[in-house]
Amino acid sequence: MNILIVGGGGREHAMAWKVAQSTLVDKLYAAPGSDGIASVAECAPIDVMDFQGLADFAEGHDVDLTLVGPEQPLVGGIVDYFSARGLKIFGPSKAAARIEGSKSFAKALMKNNQIPTSHYQTFTDYQQAGDYLQQVGAPIVLKADGLAAGKGVIVAMTMAEAEQGLKAIMKDRKFADAGARVVIEEYLEGDEFSLMALVNGETVTPLAIAQDHKRSFDGDKGPNTGGMGAYSPVPQIPGKIADEAVQTILKPAASGMAQEGCPFTGVLYAGLMLTKDGPKVIEFNCRFGDPETQVVLPRLESDLVQVVLDVMDGGQPALSWSDKTAVGVVLATAGYPVSYPKGRKLGDLSALPDAALLFHAGTKKNGKDWLTSGGRVLLVTRLGDDLRTTRDAVNKDLERIATDDVFFRKDIGHRALEAAEKP
Ligand code: AMP
Ligand code: GLY
């Protein structure tokens, strides 16, 4: 088979790395891909929103299956476009991708299907939103209702933060038009985890869980980012909790979508909080998580392409997982997620040992050098026998290639280590 992967970030590099290992694959393409992805796939410089260009490429290169990384093309209808042209693609339709594209759509789905989530209210009026804030108090969470790459969220622990946050979203339009409508929701307290599943209609095939680290600095300090590192499995979240979440969250979501006439096909991602009342939904995404994919796919022993084909045929394939712990740590440009320079030279990436899986996110090759070209630059994953030594080994890898222009969190997995130390 010939496969096309749409996207060019760290998640897509991990997808391409995994797909390249499939015995079913002849030719692997990525669009636009990246200089890093070029080590495993042939890259074509086509924008992820250029559906016609992508479909022309897929036709011209006898692509048998297209996999999509980022949410923007899915929310924009790439699956509908490819399907209309008779091209096979794994992902949700535009209607189904609303589960991520619109927080209010997702909230209504959860309400209609008794899926546990936080209480919330939606506002388009600044004054009314402000009055509601005074009424409910802090801690409280504010979300711009639209895509802001996981960054349109403010978790306010105090009233002052909440008021500033509301102004930033609705008045200053910090997240652009996504701030025309704000969701104000109850703060959920607990351990967060990410549960992804391959879904086709009402059939749900869950993947191993992972835990992301959203805040930029050690100790979960600093602003929310797209994710600074992840690990899988998550020992402090018992297996029965993940099973419960499949039953109370993923399956009702999939059947709810089918009943509403927009069945979901593709990767359904649930960002969950394990509260004292059980797992509750923070958000749904309509695609693989980033950086969760970079630690979950390295643990998957099954052939990803075969698994996707089975799911598309209506099957529920049994997946085989490595017992090892995967830890992935993001190297980011200083200043991320606010503002950051590009084009800074990184250390010698070829110095990394083979055991360090390198997934490029925002890099550019310049002769023999690698330069930064994004906020999240790259991620290194290692598989190991225990979390601490694996994490320490990844930190050493990153120390070898880091410069003054970049930073990374050294405490990925801290919640699991703290939970293990509790008497
Ligand atoms: P989201 O983009 O919705 O995933 O939000 C980004 C991050 O903000 C999440 O990963 C959580 O860490 C945090 N967050 C979002 N909503 C809530 C909530 N209701 N309660 C507590 N934390 C939240
Ligand atoms: N890691 C969170 C996300 O992919 O949205």
Q: Which of 285, 297, 330 to mutate to test the pocket of ligand 2 (most atoms within 8 A of CB)?
A: 285
Mean pLDDT of 4-24: 98
Domain residue limits at 377: 325-421
Question: In which residue are the tokens 């939904």 written?
Answer: 281
pLDDT at residue 177, as a whole number: 76
Question: In which residue are the tokens 């969190």 written?
Answer: 409
CATH code (residue 72) = 3.40.50.20
Q: Which of 74, 194, 215 to mutate to test the pocket of ligand 2 (most atoms within 8 A of CB)?
A: 194
Residue 108 domain-assigned (yes or no)? no
Question: Could you tell me the distance, in angstroms and rounded to a whole number, from the CA of residue 64 to the centre of ligand 1?
Answer: 37
Residue that terminates a domain, selected from 93, 113, 136: 93
Residue that terminates a domain, selected from 44, 70, 93: 93
Residues 294 and 342 in one domain: no
Closest to 233 measured CA to CA, from 423, 422, 396, 384: 384
Mean pLDDT of 352-371: 97
Mean pLDDT of 118-122: 91
- Banded pLDDT at 223 (limits 50, 70, 90): confident
Question: Could you tell me the distance, in angstroms and rounded to a whole number, from the CA of residue 190 to the centre of ligand 2?
Answer: 18
Residues 89 and 129 in one domain: no
Asked if residue 404 has pLDDT above 70, the reply is: yes
Ligand in closest contact with the CA of 267:
2
Asked if residue 150 has pLDDT above 60, the reply is: no
pLDDT at residue 349, as a whole number: 97
Question: Could you tell me the distance, in angstroms and rounded to a whole number, from the CA of residue 232 to the centre of ligand 2?
Answer: 14
Residues 293 and 212 in one domain: yes
Residues 335 and 408 in one domain: yes
- Banded pLDDT at 149 (limits 50, 70, 90): low
Please give the tally of structural domains in the chain.
Answer: 4
Residue 368 domain-assigned (yes or no)? yes
Closest to 152 measured CA to CA, from 136, 174, 129: 174
Mean pLDDT of 189-217: 97
Residues 292 and 209 in one domain: yes
Residues 142 and 254 in one domain: no
Residues 305 and 336 in one domain: no
Mean pLDDT of the chain: 95
- Banded pLDDT at 84 (limits 50, 70, 90): very high
Note the pTM of the prediction, 2 decimals. Answer: 0.94
Indicate the residue type of 322.
Answer: S
Question: Could you tell me the distance, in angstroms and rounded to a whole number, from the CA of residue 153 to the centre of ligand 1?
Answer: 7
Mean pLDDT of 31-57: 98
Question: Could you tell me the distance, in angstroms and rounded to a whole number, from the CA of residue 166 to the centre of ligand 2?
Answer: 23
pLDDT at residue 186, as a whole number: 95
Q: Which residues line ligand 1 (CB under 6 A)?
A: 118, 141, 143, 150, 153, 155, 185-188, 192, 214, 224, 271, 282-283
Strands (E), 334-405: 357-360, 363-366, 369-372, 376-384
Question: Could you tell me the distance, in angstroms and rounded to a whole number, from the CA of residue 156 to the centre of ligand 1?
Answer: 11
Mean pLDDT of 25-45: 98
Mean pLDDT of 18-45: 98
pLDDT at residue 183, as a whole number: 87
- Banded pLDDT at 224 (limits 50, 70, 90): confident
Q: What crossing angle do the helices spanning 251-259 and 103-112 adopt, rounded to 10°?
A: 100
Residue 112 domain-assigned (yes or no)? no
Closest ligand 2 atom to the C-alpha of 285? 5
Residues 230 and 249 in one domain: yes
Residues 216 and 306 in one domain: yes
Token pair of 54, please? 């992508």
Mean pLDDT of 94-113: 92
Residue 26 domain-assigned (yes or no)? yes
Question: Could you tell me the distance, in angstroms and rounded to a whole number, from the CA of residue 154 to the centre of ligand 1?
Answer: 8
Residue 106 domain-assigned (yes or no)? no
CATH code (residue 280) = 3.30.470.20
Question: In which residue are the tokens 């899926």 written?
Answer: 115
Closest ligand 1 atom to the C-alpha of 148? 2
pLDDT at residue 198, as a whole number: 98
Closest ligand 2 atom to the C-alpha of 291? 1
Ligand in closest contact with the CA of 116:
1
Q: How far apart are CA 60 and CA 57, in angstroms?
A: 5
- Banded pLDDT at 367 (limits 50, 70, 90): very high
pLDDT at residue 104, as a whole number: 78
Question: Could you tell me the distance, in angstroms and rounded to a whole number, from the CA of residue 326 to the centre of ligand 1?
Answer: 23
Residue that terminates a domain, selected from 154, 180, 206: 180
Question: In which residue are the tokens 């088979």 written?
Answer: 1
Asked if residue 211 has pLDDT above 70, the reply is: yes
Asked if residue 151 has pLDDT above 80, the reply is: no
69 C-beta closer than 6 A to ligand 2 = no
Distant-in-sequence, close-in-space partners of 335: CB < 8 Å, separation ≥ 6: 341, 375
Residues 258 and 175 in one domain: no
- List residues bridging with 267 in a β-sheet: 198
Q: What is the largest CA-CA distance in the chain?
A: 61
CATH code (residue 377) = 3.90.600.10
pLDDT at residue 146, as a whole number: 64
Mean pLDDT of 8-18: 98
Residue 115 domain-assigned (yes or no)? no
Q: Which of 196, 282, 283, 415 to mutate to test the pocket of ligand 1 (most atoms within 8 A of CB)?
A: 282
- Do residues 142 and 184 make contact, with C-beta atoms less than 8 angstroms apart? yes
Q: What is the pLDDT of residues 261-320, one digit of tens each?
A: 999 999 999 999 999 999 999 999 999 999 999 999 999 999 999 999 999 999 999 999
Residues 301 and 330 in one domain: no
pLDDT at residue 101, as a whole number: 87
- List residues bridging with 185 in a β-sheet: 120, 141
Residue 208 domain-assigned (yes or no)? yes
Residues 145 and 75 in one domain: no
Asked if residue 148 has pLDDT above 70, the reply is: no
Closest ligand 1 atom to the C-alpha of 187? 20
Q: Hey, whose CA ends up nearest to atom 12 of ligand 1?
A: 214
